[in-house]
């Protein structure tokens, strides 16, 4: 009986803890800068194509892109291992949004002392990454499809966190 109770309790805790940690973190993000890094690729034209797609996708929303502001910054990192010898090439795409945040302890201290703290830090407030494998011939196409999916997920999450911006 005790073992059954422990199993039910652990499974309930495990199922309840499977939420997305970044829900609500994009609230109030109205402008950002974009940094795209493509590792192990010398094709500048393709990198500009990726940058233009991300900018145009975010431009369709009410997110302004300002290259002068340092934070919040959307970092799109693409790492490619293109293996011309084997048939399989690999890639990893990481989509992160960095923003200023205040640790809980500092916030509680500032509320207790009624002083405004200046101890903001840069935190990762949104992240999604994908690992993929492809052939060398279709590597760029598969990466572009993953970028489209990531950008779509980011925009959907932004609209969930900022529901009044849809109108």
| pLDDT, tens digit (0-9, with 9 covering 90-100), for 13-46 | 555 544 554 556 677 778 888 888 888 666 778 8
Pull the structure tokens for residue 163: 């529901």
pLDDT of 145:
92
Q: Is the peptide bond before 67 cis (omega within 30 degrees of 0)?
A: no
Whether the pLDDT of residue 60 is over 50: the answer is yes
CA distance 20 to 11: 18
Q: What is the mean pLDDT of residues 156-160?
A: 86
Q: Which helix (H) or strand (E) holds 54?
A: helix 44-59
CA distance 140 to 114: 53
pTM: 0.72
pLDDT of 18:
46
CA distance 114 to 98: 27
Q: What is the DSSP letter of 73?
A: E
Q: Which helix (H) or strand (E) holds 148?
A: helix 139-161
- Cite the beta strand spans of 47-157 per DSSP E: 64-65, 73-81, 89-101, 121-134
Beta strands 89-101 and 73-81 are antiparallel
pLDDT of 115:
58
Q: What is the DSSP letter of 163?
A: G
With cut-offs at 50, 70 and 90, classify the pLDDT of residue 10.
Answer: low
Q: What is the mean pLDDT of residues 40-67?
A: 82
Q: Is the peptide bond before 33 cis (omega within 30 degrees of 0)?
A: no
pLDDT of 28:
74
| Helix (H/G/I), strand (E/B), else coil: 120 | coil
pLDDT of 17:
47
pLDDT of 20:
54
Domains and CATH numbers, the chain: 28-166 (3.30.160)
| pLDDT, tens digit (0-9, with 9 covering 90-100), for 89-140 | 888 999 998 887 766 565 555 555 555 556 667 778 888 889 988 887 888 8
pLDDT of 116:
59
Average predicted confidence (pLDDT) for the chain: 77
């Amino acid at each position: 009986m005790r073992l059954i109770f422990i199993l039910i309790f652990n499974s309930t805790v495990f199922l309840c803890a499977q939420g997305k940690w970044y829900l609500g973190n994009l609230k109030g993000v109205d402008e950002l800068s974009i940094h795209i890094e493509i590792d192990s690729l010398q094709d500048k034209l393709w990198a500009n194509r990726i940058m233009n797609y991300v900018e145009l996708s975010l431009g369709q929303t009410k997110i302004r892109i300002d290259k002068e502001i340092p934070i919040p910054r959307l970092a799109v990192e693409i790492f490619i291992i293109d293996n011309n010898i084997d048939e399989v090439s690999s890639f990893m795409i990481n989509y992160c949004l960095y923003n200023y945040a205040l640790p809980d302890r500092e916030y509680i201290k500032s509320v207790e002392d009624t002083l405004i703290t200046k101890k903001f830090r840069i935190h990762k407030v949104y992240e999604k990454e994908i690992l993929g494998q492809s052939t060398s011939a279709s590597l760029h196409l598969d990466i572009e499809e993953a970028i489209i999916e990531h950008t779509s997920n980011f925009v959907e999450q932004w609209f969930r966190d900022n529901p009044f911006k849809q109108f």
